[in-house]
Amino acid sequence: MWSDAGLVAGKDLRIELRSRVALNQVLPFSFVVLVLFAFALDPDRGVLERAAPGLFWVAVLLTSLLATQRSFAVEAADANRDRLRMSGLDPAGLFLGKAGAVAVQLLLLEVLLLVGISFLYGIALRSFGLLALTCVLATLGLAAAGTVYGVMAFGLRVRETLLPLLVLPVLAPVLLAATRSFEAALAGAPRETVGWLGLLAAFAALYTVVGLFGFGPLLEES
Amino acid sequence: MTTPPTPAPAAGRASAVLGWASLVLVGATVGLGLVLPRTQEQAEYSRLIAVHPPAAWASYVAVGVAAVAAIGFLVTRRGGWDRVTIASLEVGAVFTAITLATGSIWGRPTWGVWWEWDARLTTEALLLAVLLGAVALRRSLAPGLGRGVITSVAALATVGLLPVVHFSVEWWRSQHQAGTLLAPDPATNADNPYIVAMLVGFVAFSVLFAWMVVQRVRIEALEEEADGIVLDRAIAERRAEASPARGVTA
């Protein structure tokens, strides 16, 4: 399972490295979102500063949609779907590989976005350990849930429009928990992050289990 | 198509009994609700107690029934379970929408706003979004075994998510000071006629839910049968097109 996961994740990351879609399209998109928030919320009134953790995670959520779509778009072209099914790779490994590749891309993006909000919204970053832990746990949940719903909508012609409707309401707990955890970390109140980090871990665990057991049947039937 | 469509069940006596029972019970609920005395604070709107909590109850029942039916399908792979799953998800979405609408109508005069970001409201709104997503997913899938599997997994994922959603929004609110607009639980100090109307409402909406699911299951079975007929006809037509050509070449 693990070697299959490594193979799939390596393949996906190589595709992104060579095609530079993540670098040239997804990353600039997330910065555009940050700038749009500044247009929507008057930057002079301090609203941006107060809302920064929430805006950061909304930007990550929207970008995670793009990353998930992309992760399955590369498999949809040239009848890759049938090859994936017949490859003999362990479905659990496939799930871990796809989700892992999305998670790695999202984590890199989050680092850059953190620099972005600190620079654009004037946020003084602190408690880096808690911020990093929040990012890792939230990203595991985003990648696992995104991959589960991504494979559900995989074989559909309406995939692009259906996936956001399916996955965004499901990701609401991640948005809430990650935002609160960030707020507490930035405010220098590490104790308050504990419950939220637990929730993020529970969400990631729930969808990882669903993915490990459900990915095979879903891929078979999609 | 991997499973041949089973013959559609006719609208039996049970369906008729359920239908009449839900008509009478919903009528009784409306009647009892309308004769409730008006209260000091909530005026006429207190009467919504006869329909609002029962609708919320029916939406929870729907999600529970969908989950059980989804497990049933994944274990047995029988089309009947699949039809109950999608029927419950759809009817559940209707009751969730009714819950949100009646709650909003009550909230406007009582709280002064149409919407309050209270934990329960937020959970119910997210539930509606998730149910609509599952129904949209189902409708874009081609009939067959695969559709059943994907619908079942989507239904189970919805149910597994509900506690997480509920607690996350509850904690999310608890970070703020307790909302001054939050209504006291009406059941705790409600006088007897309110409780009677609400209890009749619970029974009425449960029976109504059952009747709607039975009807929706019948429609689903008929649709599957119609799909099969269309497919058979198309195959017969293609064969008819091919046979003269084969005659020429032979």
Closest listed residue to residue A56, CA positions, set A124, A131, A110: A110
Spatial neighbors of A137 by CB under 8 A, at least 6 apart, are A197, A200, A201, A204
What is the nearest CA distance from B87 to chain A, expressed in angstroms? 18
Question: A74 with A12: CB under 8 angstroms?
Answer: yes
Q: What is the predicted ipTM?
A: 0.83
> Distance from B207 to chain A by nearest Cα, in Å?
30
Q: What is the CA radius of gyration of chain B?
A: 23
CB distance from B27 to chain A under 8 Å? no
Say if residues A147 and A163 touch (Cβ distance below 8 Å): no
pLDDT of residue A98: 93
**Distance in angstroms (rounded) separating the CA atoms of residues B23 and B17:** 10
* Beta carbons of A123 and A49 less than 8 angstroms apart: yes
Q: Would you mind telling me the total number of residues written for chain A in this entry?
A: 222
Q: Which 3-state string (H, E, C) describes chain B?
A: CCCCCCCCCCCCHHHHHHHHHHHHHHHHHHHHHHHCCCECCCEHHHHHHHCHHHHHHHHHHHHHHHHHHHHHHHHHCCHHHHHHHHHHHHHHHHHHHHHHHHHHHHHHHHHCCCCCCCHHHHHHHHHHHHHHHHHHHHHCCCCCHHHHHHHHHHHHHHHHHHHHHHHHHHHHHHCCCCCCCCCCCCCCCCCHHHHHHHHHHHHHHHHHHHHHHHHHHHHHHHHHHHHHHHHHHHHHHHHHHHHHHHHHHC
Only one residue has tokens 């969400």, namely A203
CB pair distance less than 8 Å for A152 and B137: yes
Residues pairing with B118 in the sheet: none
- What is the nearest CA distance from A196 to chain B, expressed in angstroms? 8
B197's tokens: 């109307």
Q: For residue range A36-46, what is the model confidence (pLDDT) as tens digits?
A: 988 888 777 78
Please answer whether residues B202 and B53 qualify as being in contact, where contact means their C-beta atoms are separated by less than 8 angstroms: yes
- Give the burial string for A109-135 (b: 16+ CB within 10 Å, else e): bbeebbebbeebbebeeebeebbebbb
Q: pTM for this one? A: 0.82
Average pLDDT over all residues of chain B? 80
Alpha-carbon distances, residue B161 vs A135, A173, B44, B122, B131 (angstroms): 21, 9, 36, 14, 12
Quote the tokens at residue A166.
């399916």
pLDDT at position B193 is 78
Summarised one tens digit per residue, pLDDT across range B188-204 is 555 577 788 888 888 99
B117 touches chain A (CB under 8 A): no
Nearest to B211 by CA among B6, B8, B70, B62: B62
Residues of A in contact with B163 (CB under 8 A): none
pLDDT in tens, A85-141: 888 889 999 999 999 999 999 999 999 999 998 888 888 888 888 999 999 999 999
State the best of B161, B166, B173 to mutate against chain A, taking most chain A CBs within 10 Å: B161
Q: Report residue A108 as tokens.
A: 């890199």
Region A155-166: mean pLDDT is: 86
Q: Return the bridge partners of B43, or none.
A: B39
Tell me if B140 and A180 make a contact (CB, 8 A cut-off).
no
Give yes or no for a contact between B155 and B134, defined as CB atoms under 8 angstroms apart.
Answer: yes
The two structure tokens encoding residue A190: 């590490």
Higher pLDDT pick, B7 / A14:
A14
**Closest residue, chain A, to B175 (C-alpha):** A180
**CB < 8 Å to B164, chain A:** 173, 199, 202-203, 206
Tens-level pLDDT at each residue, chain B (250 residues): 445 545 545 567 888 888 999 899 989 888 888 877 776 666 667 777 788 888 888 998 999 999 999 999 989 988 889 999 999 999 999 999 999 998 888 888 877 888 888 777 888 888 899 999 999 998 888 887 788 888 998 888 888 777 777 777 777 765 443 433 344 454 455 557 778 888 888 899 999 999 999 999 999 999 888 888 888 888 888 888 887 655 555 4
User: How many residue pairs from chains A and B have C-beta atoms closer than 8 A?
Assistant: 79
How many residues make up chain B in this entry? 250
Nearest chain B alpha carbon to A171: B165
Which residues of B fall within a CB distance of 8 Å from A193? none
Q: Which residues of A touch B141 (CB under 8 A)?
A: 156
Joined together, the tokens standing for residue B187 give 């059941």
| Domain residue ranges of chain A, discontinuous segments joined by + | 2-221
Optimal mutation site among A160, A165, A183, interface B, most CBs of chain B within 10 A: A165
From chain A residues 147-176, the ones with a CB under 8 A of any chain B CB are 148, 152-153, 156-158, 162, 165-166, 168-170, 172-173, 176
Average pLDDT, chain A: 89
Distance, CA of A90 to CA of A142 (rounded, Å):
22
